[in-house]
Amino acid sequence: MRTPKDIVVYIDTVDASICRVHIDYAVNLARSWGAHVVVAFAPEDLAANPHSGFARGAAIESMLAAYRSRQHEAEENLRATLSEVAAATGVNCELRICSGESGETLMLHARHASLAIVGTSRQADRAMTALTVSEDIIFASGRPSILLPPSWRNDDGVPKTIVIGWNASREAARAIADAMPFLASASTVHVVVVPEPKVARLLGEDPGADISSHLARHGIEVVLDRLEGDNAGDLIVARAEDVGAEMVVMGAYGQSRITEFVFGSATRTLLANPKVPILLSR
């Protein structure tokens, strides 16, 4: 993968602090790469709100007025934020209002960019939006996607310490290829191998050695970590915390089910509460 030249950031919340985390993350990456940033705002979807169907009479007009007011305020806040950020950083920023878009239509913003950044809508108390139900499709856009924790701060641009979860699968190989712009700029890359029985045959007699050599030929500083345990997902995340990683690179698979990772059964918890940005590729 070449250095990204356009990054799409999906936003579906009116929470200004979360919006700013997403925008700042994308802009700092874009500034490092000379890239263009697209903010795709998917407003609240009233049809997906379970309470909207109970409104009657005058309450319907009141509900619609409140909805329009929230959407207008959110749009104006995003425009002001992007204008401020562009003036401060020199990064070209574009706002797209994705009203009424969902599924494949919403996914196309990612397909027309080099990289997609999304938050996580897996929390039980998260309001339903078009992005909530389209998140899986976005991860299947054919472009790498970064799942961003809501409180993550990125002041240094590209990450310096990265953990790769490696199991010799097609998905993991694709993730590494897609992550090359990050890996090439990192100070240290940890290749984590957990030779679980179901993938041990793919890893060979010296698990992780071949992919580490491949990365080293690209001038990447590699540390090979072979870990033992029953849950590769948990071990990879724990290793990322131990080394202070600023990104985890993982392959994902499944038909519209990003909740299933190649790496075991810890993924629901991981997606609901990611500790570091996770670059996913499928």
CB 45 within 8 A of CB 153: no
Secondary structure of 179-248 as H, E, C letters: CHHHHHHCCEEEEEECCCHHHHHHHCCCCCHHHHHHHHCCCCCEEEEECCCCCHHHHHHHHHHHCCCCEE
The model's pTM:
0.84
pLDDT beyond 70 at 258: no
Gyration radius (Cα) of the chain, Å:
20
pLDDT confidence of residue 195: 74
Average pLDDT taken over every residue of the chain: 80
pLDDT confidence of residue 150: 80
Within 10 angstroms of residue 264's Cβ, the number of other Cβ atoms is: 22
Q: Which residue has the higher pLDDT, 187 or 131?
A: 187
pLDDT beyond 90 at 73: no
pLDDT confidence of residue 115: 95
Structural domains in the chain, sorted by start: 6-147 (3.40.50.620), 161-281 (3.40.50.620)
pLDDT confidence of residue 262: 41
Judged by DSSP in three states, 134 sits in helix
Cα–Cα dist 129/132, whole Å: 5
Instruction: Calculate what percentage of the chain has a pLDDT beyond 90.
Output: 41
Name the region of 101 (left: φ>0; alpha: ψ -120 to 50; beta: rest).
beta
pLDDT beyond 70 at 170: yes
Within 10 angstroms of residue 125's Cβ, the number of other Cβ atoms is: 4
What the block records as the tokens of 63 is: 């509900």
Instruction: Name residues whose C-beta falls within 8 Å of residue 113's C-beta, 6 or more positions apart in sequence.
Output: 4, 6, 7, 8, 38, 143
CB 264 within 8 A of CB 229: no
pLDDT beyond 90 at 100: no
Instruction: Name residues whose C-beta falls within 8 Å of residue 2's C-beta, 6 or more positions apart in sequence.
Output: 114, 181
pLDDT beyond 90 at 223: yes
End-to-end CA distance of the chain: 14
pLDDT confidence of residue 120: 61
pLDDT beyond 50 at 254: no
pLDDT confidence of residue 136: 66
Q: Encode pLDDT of 43-60 as tens digits.
A: 866 555 555 554 555 666
pLDDT confidence of residue 59: 62
Q: Encode pLDDT of 172-219 as tens digits.
A: 899 999 999 999 999 999 999 987 656 556 666 778 899 999 999 999
Q: Which of 76-85, 89-98, 193-202 has the lowest mean pLDDT?
A: 193-202
